[in-house]
Amino acid sequence: MSVPLKIAIAGLGTVGGGVIKALSSRKKALEAQAGRGLEVVAVSARDPRKKRDFEVQGLLTDPLALAKSDADVVVELIGGEEGVARQLVEASLENGKHVVTANKALLAKHGKRLAELAEKNNLQLKFEAAVAGGIPIVTTLREALIAHGVDAVKGILNGTCNYILTEMEVTGRGFAEVLKDAQRLGYAEADPALDIGGGDTAHKLALLSALAFGTAPDLANMKVEGIEHITADDIGFASEFGFRIKLLGVARQTAQGIDQRVHPAMVRARTPLANVDGAANGVMVDAGEAGSFFFSGRGAGEAPTASAVVADIVEIARGSFGPVFGRPAASLRPLVPADSGASQSAYYMRFEVLDVPGVLAEIAGHLSKANVSIESMIQRGRAPGEPVAIVMITHESPQHAVENALKAIAASDKVRARPCMIPMEAA
Ligand SMILES: NC(=O)c1ccc[n+]([C@@H]2O[C@H](COP(=O)([O-])OP(=O)(O)OC[C@H]3O[C@@H](n4cnc5c(N)ncnc54)[C@H](OP(=O)(O)O)[C@@H]3O)[C@@H](O)[C@H]2O)c1
């Protein structure tokens, strides 16, 4: 065997611990696949006294020391779009070390610049674990589905949101109650904002979009909406109409530009994405003449994420080199955004209204004025004096027309809460 690959690992939490365990428990098999030895020569974490369920020797508390070590590859598993993670990745690339990272926040914000730095120094910057955990979607978009181009990529990219929505559907409980349970069970962070607000999905979508369309990762041109406002009623109504509600990240090439958005969507019940349940992830790629491809599996957690990190390390050990985003970083174009307001979709709308004569006519009037026509409707009575739920599904309409109608409806004194509007995702 040739010279071993020397590996330094920064961060020994969920993912870092999983990487250490996999590299040690499957050492022989992985070395056989890499064609050379794989040696962990340095590790770092913040707290040297923390109890860990794996053996650690010579733990450093300054991750930046790894960039100056004799490692060939630095594995950044600390996290965060700035701070020490960014400093470490930059310093490692400047010091001639390949980098493997699972850090979607860092790459969504600084991906193009870091890719340029890596390529200038003839180094690898690999990030399979940054999107959808164990699902090899980064490699698939970068290396496999390239012959016919990609028209669209969409997916369930955040296990926390999918767990919450699935639990709400199965138990009929409300968002806040299920979120609390998810935190207790370790499916949601103590501060869940980045997950439930759609930010984490946005980071991942920015990377998928860059790989699919050859653009620089772009968070600025992305509409992002989370799941906080979804009610158990919405999920119940969705089911009556034959749909399930999922938080989707969608990136689509249109004639006008790229449409990137993160939002809850109504997904038809018997389609593959609708059946991604619990904390799992799922990604659908529409690869032109090659057809549609669907991937699903565990999108987070120790073993699935470590699986992706270790695969990147082995690729580097083999010496297989390619540009970070599948084409030279300098050629990544700025993203030209599509006008999302003009995009056409059918919509689910829910209104909480006073049960008084004329309310339905008023809603219908605003919709008709905006040229939005209704395909079906459900009206549910409640106890006397309580607001009534009116739910409508529209025919395909431009987003801005539906938004205008909803704005006018929300201003009515007969409407009790902000109307809810969820796009119906085709297939
Ligand atoms: N967890 C997942 O399922 C998952 C999935 C995909 C991607 N990722 C990404 O993988 C990365 C790591 O996530 P994780 O879940 O493994 O995080 P984690 O469990 O919180 O571990 C973070 C590690 O970084 C160390 N660390 C934190 N701040 C530090 C600092 N200022 N200086 C030095 N070390 C520091 C911590 O040290 P101590 O151990 O001493 O506290 C810990 O070992 C993140 O970018 C995350 O987005 C995670």
Regarding the beta carbon of 305 and ligand 1, being less than 6 Å apart is answered: yes
- Contact in structure between 308 and 295 (CB atoms under 8 Å): no
* Alpha-carbon gap, residue 95 to 98, rounded angstroms: 9
Architecture of domain 341-425: 2-Layer Sandwich (3.30)
For residue 15, give the ligand 1 atom closest to its CA. 16
What was the pLDDT predicted at 266?
Answer: 97
Regarding the beta carbon of 34 and ligand 1, being less than 6 Å apart is answered: no
CATH 3.30.360.10 assigned to 138-298 = yes
Architecture of domain 2-134+304-329: 3-Layer(aba) Sandwich (3.40)
- Atom 21, ligand 1: residue with shortest CA distance: 13
Regarding the beta carbon of 103 and ligand 1, being less than 6 Å apart is answered: yes
Domain boundaries, the chain: 2-134+304-329, 138-298, 341-425
DSSP per position, 291-360: -EEEEEEE-SSHHHHHHHHHHHHHHHHHT----TTSS-GGGPBPP-B--GGG-EEEEEEEEEE---TTHH
What was the pLDDT predicted at 386?
Answer: 79
Residue of 19, 21, 46 to test ligand 1 pocket, by largest number of atoms within 8 Å of CB: 46
| Of 6, 204, 223, 414, catalytic | 204
- Contact in structure between 394 and 421 (CB atoms under 8 Å): no
What was the pLDDT predicted at 100?
Answer: 98
Regarding the beta carbon of 249 and ligand 1, being less than 6 Å apart is answered: no
Regarding the beta carbon of 300 and ligand 1, being less than 6 Å apart is answered: yes
- Contact in structure between 235 and 393 (CB atoms under 8 Å): no
- Atom 27, ligand 1: residue with shortest CA distance: 78
Distance 52 CA to ligand 1 centre (A): 13
What was the pLDDT predicted at 1?
Answer: 54
pLDDT tens over the chain, length 427 residues = 589 999 999 999 999 999 999 999 999 999 999 999 999 999 999 999 999 999 998 899 999 999 999 999 999 999 999 999 999 999 999 999 999 999 999 999 999 999 999 999 999 999 999 999 999 999 999 999 999 999 999 999 999 999 999 999 999 999 999 999 999 988 888 899 999 999 999 999 999 999 999 999 999 999 999 999 999 999 999 999 999 999 999 999 999 999 999 999 999 999 999 999 999 999 999 999 999 999 999 999 999 999 999 999 999 999 988 999 999 999 999 999 998 878 889 999 999 999 888 899 999 999 999 999 999 999 887 676 778 999 999 999 999 999 999 999 999 999 988 899 999 997 6
| Strand (E) or helix (H) holding 216 | none
Regarding the beta carbon of 50 and ligand 1, being less than 6 Å apart is answered: yes
Give CA 127 to chain center in angstroms: 14
